[in-house]
Amino acid sequence: MIKNIVFDLGGVLVPLNRQECEAAFGNIGFNDFGKILNEYVQGGFFLDYEKGTITTGEFRDILRGYIDNKVTNHQIDTAMGSFLEIIPDDKLELLISLKSRFKLYMLSNTNEIAMNIVKPFFNKGNLTISDYFDKLFLSYEMKMAKPDSEIFIKMAADASLEASETLFIDDSPANIQTARELGFKTLLFNRDMDLKTEVEKLI
């Protein structure tokens, strides 16, 4: 029996636009950003940022080393934000509906810049992001990232989750594989699916 549902953020709730992001970084002089940008897990200094081992300031400074020291924080943050599209209203409505029946959590490989952009997407009426989820588990705060098993184990311990009672939804095959190995029920999501339909099949 499913009692908990864990959602990934990017690619599940928030649509991702890789092409737009690469173009935005190209416009500020970083034409090779696509080489380190990945929908599932980042690499190099980007992964360091998502694991919280470097600060936002350090991340921006490293980027400037590839681009131009005159590029502003706002330009960098705007380019980063172009990867993230607005959450469709039907997904927010789904979360509200599920929240009355299940414990809901977010487990995301993400970073401070992205979360500052994404959090307002959840502002509907008097609701904020904390009203949709019982807890947010964010890689840069936890100092670990999917698909490593340690982040799943840490989440389960902190939230007192039984893996067998928990549905984990992600768009990364590697993340899904780790979750399955740990005993979670899983849904490998892609943007061609209807999230509500797929979730209702499994709960």
Provide the CATH number for the domain around residue 50.
Answer: 1.10.150.240
Do 152 and 69 belong to one domain? no
User: Average pLDDT in the 178-192 region?
Assistant: 97
For the stretch 21-78, pLDDT in tens is: 889 988 888 877 766 665 445 568 888 999 999 999 999 998 888 887 789 999 999 9
Chosen domain end from 81, 101, 135: 81
Range(s) of the domain holding residue 101: 4-15+87-202
pLDDT tens-digit series, residues 106-145: 999 999 999 999 999 999 999 999 999 999 999 999 999 9
Which of these, 9, 5, 117, 102, lies nearest to 56 by C-alpha position?
Answer: 117
Out of 81, 98, 125, pick the residue that ends a domain. 81
112 and 151, same domain (yes or no): yes
Q: Say how many domains are in the chain.
A: 2
Domain final residue pick, 56, 81, 106:
81
Give mean pLDDT, residues 7-23.
93
72 and 159 fall within a common domain:
no
Check: CB of residue 107 under 8 Å from CB of residue 151.
Answer: yes
**% the chain with pLDDT above 70:** 95
pLDDT at residue 40, rounded to an integer? 45
33 and 107 together in one domain: no
Catalytic annotation, residues: 8
Q: Are residues 166 and 68 in the same domain?
A: no
CATH number of the domain that residue 151 is part of: 3.40.50.1000
Residues of the chain with pLDDT > 90, as a percent, come to 79
Q: Are residues 32 and 99 in the same domain?
A: no
Same domain for 53 and 135? no
3-state secondary structure 42-54: CCHHHHHHHCCCC
DSSP per-residue letters across 49-105: HHTTSS-HHHHHHHHHHHS-TT--HHHHHHHHHTTBPPPPHHHHHHHHHHHTTSEEE
Residue 106's nearest CA partner among 80, 79, 140 is 140
* Three-state secondary structure call for residue 12: coil
pTM of whole model > 0.75?
A: yes
Residues 137, 42 within the same domain: no
Cα distance between residue 181 and residue 184, in whole Å: 8
